[in-house]
Amino acid sequence: LNLTHFHFHLSSVFSLNMPILELEPTISSVTGSPASTRPHANTRMENSTVHAEPPGSTNNTNPTLESRVSDQNQAIPSQLPFLRKSLRPITLKFQDLAYTITSPESNKTRTVLDGVSGVVRPGELLAMLGPSGSGKTTLLTALGGRLPGKISGSITYSGEPFSSSVKRKIGFVTQDDVLYPHLTVLETLTYAAMLRLPKNLTYEEKAEQAGLIIVELGLTRCRDSIVGGPLIRGVSGGERKRVSIGQEMLVNPSLLLLDEPTSGLDSTTALRLMGTLKGLARGGRSVVTTIHQPSSRLYWMFDKVVVLCEGCPIYCGLVGQVIEYLASIGYVPGFDLMNPADFLLDLANGVVPCTNTDDHQQYNQSREDCHEDDKSVKLFLISSYKKTLYPLIKDDIHTKTHDESRAIRGPQSSRCCDSRWTTSWWTQFKVLFKRGLRERRHESYSGLRIFQVMSVSILSGLLWWHSDTSHLQDQVGLLFFLSVFWGFYPLSNGIFTFPNDRLMLIRERSSSMYRLSSYYFARMAGDLPMELVLPTIFITITYWMAGLKPSLVTFTLTLLIILFNVLVSQGLGLALGAILTDLKQASTLSSVIMFVFLLAGGYYIQHIPPFIGWLKYTSFSYYCYKLLVEVQYSEHEVYDCHMDIHCRVLDFPGIKYLGVGHLWWDVAALGVMLVGYRLLAYVALRG
Ligand SMILES: Nc1ncnc2c1ncn2[C@@H]1O[C@H](COP(=O)(O)OP(=O)(O)OP(=O)(O)O)[C@@H](O)[C@H]1O
């Protein structure tokens, strides 16, 4: 797959085969000097239809660009009509953004962003550069509307503040690929299409879009491979990144934000990816990406850059003018062929060589030995930016573009018709249910789990082989064991559910892919088969081997009680996982709770002091055990208690203490727990 192929296909979906935007930069120079004379040949990708010339000015409305953007929308192939409808260009403007954090330990505040401003217009690709920790991700997160209420300054999207309809037009690709490792590339994109594409499209149309994205992103070869993750080998890192981008591209976002999309990729793949982004921008989107250490080839593909130094901008504007600007304040690259990105990063780190040389080695030596004081360089760069560039940026921000005027005029504003969700509750539920079953098919139906349950059931059957009321103590012990085993087991599985899903839930919910309630019920329903099948197998084996009452009714009631108990204890596990999120804490607490329930269950201790006797009423094992006894033994059933003397089973010490009777109260108590724990889990997730 070469670059040309890659672009060629992308252009067919996202109308990249539009006329190349050969727009003359209308701003001569941010410092007043003539426009960059840097040869544009540097900015072209070989064999690519994408050009890297600045697509428009930084300070003017450019009707030509906008009319071309709408032309490009007209050019979208007829089999993809929804793409044409949904692309409304967004001009992103941000002004004076500031963000501080307070350390909970020391109570000290730290400035993460300070006075960051800029504009990204449709058709532009803006890159954020800066050393590690300079605030790039924070800025990107803020632009994606994901730091609500925490950030000061203003961010507008074609003149509008952030809203749920704006949110739906934003694609956000996080640095870490949060994907289900066991789903294939095709499954991942198909389920995303089902959840994210509008409800007026049919299943087939949505699946077709997913298929097209696969072709366009060059993922055909690995479409049936699992995505994989840190512990499971799947597709390569670059392919995984493309899957993440594909998920966002499905919705044809007007504004695409990407956090370090090229990290971990080789330079050719990175270039190819950036070419894709450039192509998406040229299709009328505004694209913003953070990037760590771009090669010079990558660097010249950007239209604009924001360079951050400890949260403050030292440059924001057209990429072709940064070197001139820096020269105007006294900083020039060490040698002619130096990668401008390296130069910018050196400066943002406060590192300035004091020798000007053409010799690479000499430059590096000078960089090591002879740089000025880091702090004063940084301060000088920040204050120069404020003096020289900030007024220009401010003017640019205040210039209204075509799409902003249109948004403000109203009738075409998207807000009227956009609801928060693209699909109905029922569709979300169905897709999430199926996706959950597919993702967890290995885990749930693993031979290991079935072996675990089968072996314990057979062993229990053998240990209690054909027990009868002549050994009542043993038989009652079995009933207690059943209630405890089927309390512990689902509880310890349940606590993993939400902590494992947490990252995915946050990512997908941030993109408004589905309602929390549809996810929640889909997850509950998806877990149900396995939660119920395993105990059913267990009870069927153990019940008959252990010689419990040979009655189909009693067997069925016993099974139903155990299944009820399973659902209650799993609910407690879900609630603990949702409240604590930390697995270690959740599993520690769950074992403490389970031991309390075990001891208060009524089998080990029959004379609990009254001041702590209430504990048993909190234990689902207690209710389950009591119900099992109630259905196993009839009121007048007797057993041989001593040398042919018959006693009532219900008077047996381990049973009498339970106070059998009030069967429906026990069922009601379990019912309250069943609903209560699950409600608690839902509320905790929502919080
Ligand atoms: N919620 C937070 N809690 C603690 N520190 C934070 C938080 N958010 C941001 N920071 C700090 O703010 C600074 C900027 O972080 P950010 O992730 O934006 O940097 P970055 O430029 O993206 O870094 P990198 O290139 O290494 O990803 C860092 O020092 C980071 O530790």
The ranges assigned to domains in the chain are 441-686
The chain-wide mean pLDDT, for the chain, equals 79
Report the sign of the C-alpha dihedral through residues 650, 651, 654, 656, in that order. positive
In angstroms, what is the span from residue 138 Cα to ligand 1's centroid?
6
The pLDDT of 523-527, averaged and rounded, is 90
Residue 79: per-residue pLDDT:
39
Assess whether the C-beta atom of 132 lies below 6 angstroms from ligand 1.
yes
Hey, what amino acid is at 668? A
Tell me the helices (H) and strands (E) count for the chain, helix number first.
Answer: 28, 11
Measured in degrees and rounded to the nearest 5, phi and psi for residue 92 equal -95, 125
> Binning pLDDT at 50, 70 and 90, where does residue 48 land?
very low
> Binning pLDDT at 50, 70 and 90, where does residue 355 land?
low
CA distance 215 to 202: 20
Residue 292: per-residue pLDDT:
85
Residue 500: per-residue pLDDT:
86
Higher pLDDT, 130 or 655: 130
Q: C-alpha dihedral over 524, 526, 527, 528, to 10 degrees?
A: 80
pLDDT of 414 over the 50 cut: no
In angstroms, what is the span from residue 93 Cα to ligand 1's centroid?
22
> Binning pLDDT at 50, 70 and 90, where does residue 35 land?
very low
Joined together, the tokens standing for residue 623 give 């209710």
pLDDT in tens, 156-165: 999 889 988 8
Instruction: Give the pairing of strands 304-309 and 255-258.
Output: unpaired
Cβ atoms of 367 and 373 closer than 8 Å:
no
Where residue 153 falls (left for φ over 0; alpha for ψ -120 to 50; beta otherwise) is left
The pLDDT of 68-95, averaged and rounded, is 57
Atom nearest to 292 CA in ligand 1: 25
Residue 259: per-residue pLDDT:
92
Assess whether the C-beta atom of 131 lies below 6 angstroms from ligand 1.
no
Report the sign of the C-alpha dihedral through residues 310, 315, 317, 321, in that order. negative
Measured in degrees and rounded to the nearest 5, phi and psi for residue 251 equal -90, 5
pLDDT of 409 over the 70 cut: no
E strand or H helix at 590, and its extent?
A: helix 583-600
Nearest residue (by CA) to ligand 1, atom 16, is 135
Helical H segments across 283-412, by residue range:
296-299, 322-328, 340-348, 360-369, 374-384, 390-398, 402-409
pLDDT in tens, 99-127: 998 887 778 888 899 989 999 999 999 99
Lowest model confidence (mean pLDDT) among 76-80, 318-322, 574-578, 610-614: 76-80
Identify which of 102, 136, 147 to mutate to test ligand 1's pocket (most ligand atoms within 8 A of the CB): 136
CA distance 99 to 138: 9
Assess whether the C-beta atom of 146 lies below 6 angstroms from ligand 1.
no
Nearest residue (by CA) to ligand 1, atom 25, is 132
Measured in degrees and rounded to the nearest 5, phi and psi for residue 461 equal -60, -40
The pLDDT of 454-479, averaged and rounded, is 85
Cβ atoms of 158 and 89 closer than 8 Å:
yes
Joined together, the tokens standing for residue 376 give 């004063």
Residue 444: per-residue pLDDT:
62
Atom nearest to 311 CA in ligand 1: 14
pLDDT of 346 over the 50 cut: yes
Joined together, the tokens standing for residue 606 give 């029959």
What is the ipTM score, two decimals?
A: 0.96
Cβ atoms of 190 and 210 closer than 8 Å:
yes
CA distance 179 to 228: 8
Assess whether the C-beta atom of 133 lies below 6 angstroms from ligand 1.
yes
Instruction: Give the pairing of strands 255-258 and 170-173.
Output: parallel
Atom nearest to 141 CA in ligand 1: 18
Cβ atoms of 192 and 206 closer than 8 Å:
no
Other CB atoms within a 10 A radius of the CB of residue 38 amount to 15
Hey, what amino acid is at 437? L
> Binning pLDDT at 50, 70 and 90, where does residue 336 land?
low
Residue 365: per-residue pLDDT:
60
pLDDT in tens, 216-269: 778 889 999 999 988 888 898 888 888 998 898 888 889 999 999 888 778 887
Instruction: Give the pairing of strands 286-290 and 125-129.
Output: parallel
In angstroms, what is the span from residue 177 Cα to ligand 1's centroid?
18
In angstroms, what is the span from residue 170 Cα to ligand 1's centroid?
22
Assess whether the C-beta atom of 137 lies below 6 angstroms from ligand 1.
yes
Hey, what amino acid is at 6? F
Hey, what amino acid is at 129? L
Atom nearest to 130 CA in ligand 1: 21
Atom nearest to 175 CA in ligand 1: 27
CA distance 132 to 164: 31
Measured in degrees and rounded to the nearest 5, phi and psi for residue 325 equal -60, -45
Nearest residue (by CA) to ligand 1, atom 20, is 133
Assess whether the C-beta atom of 274 lies below 6 angstroms from ligand 1.
no
Cβ atoms of 470 and 644 closer than 8 Å:
no
Identify which of 97, 101, 105 to mutate to test ligand 1's pocket (most ligand atoms within 8 A of the CB): 101
Identify which of 102, 103, 137 to mutate to test ligand 1's pocket (most ligand atoms within 8 A of the CB): 137
Angstrom distances, CA of residue 368 to CA of 132, 193, 353, 365, 605: 19, 51, 8, 5, 75
Residue 554: per-residue pLDDT:
92
CA distance 631 to 326: 85
In angstroms, what is the span from residue 132 Cα to ligand 1's centroid?
8
E strand or H helix at 112, and its extent?
A: strand 109-120
Residue 354: per-residue pLDDT:
58
> Binning pLDDT at 50, 70 and 90, where does residue 416 land?
very low
Where residue 283 falls (left for φ over 0; alpha for ψ -120 to 50; beta otherwise) is alpha
In angstroms, what is the span from residue 134 Cα to ligand 1's centroid?
7
Angstrom distances, CA of residue 508 to CA of 162, 292, 513, 551: 18, 25, 6, 50
Joined together, the tokens standing for residue 71 give 């032309």
Atom nearest to 134 CA in ligand 1: 21
Residue 27: per-residue pLDDT:
29
Higher pLDDT, 642 or 357: 642
Atom nearest to 308 CA in ligand 1: 21
Nearest in space to 594 (alpha carbons), one of 464, 503, 519, 493: 493
Spell out where 239-319 has E strands. Answer: 255-258, 286-290, 304-309, 312-318
> Binning pLDDT at 50, 70 and 90, where does residue 190 land?
very high
CA distance 27 to 38: 15
Higher pLDDT, 567 or 601: 567
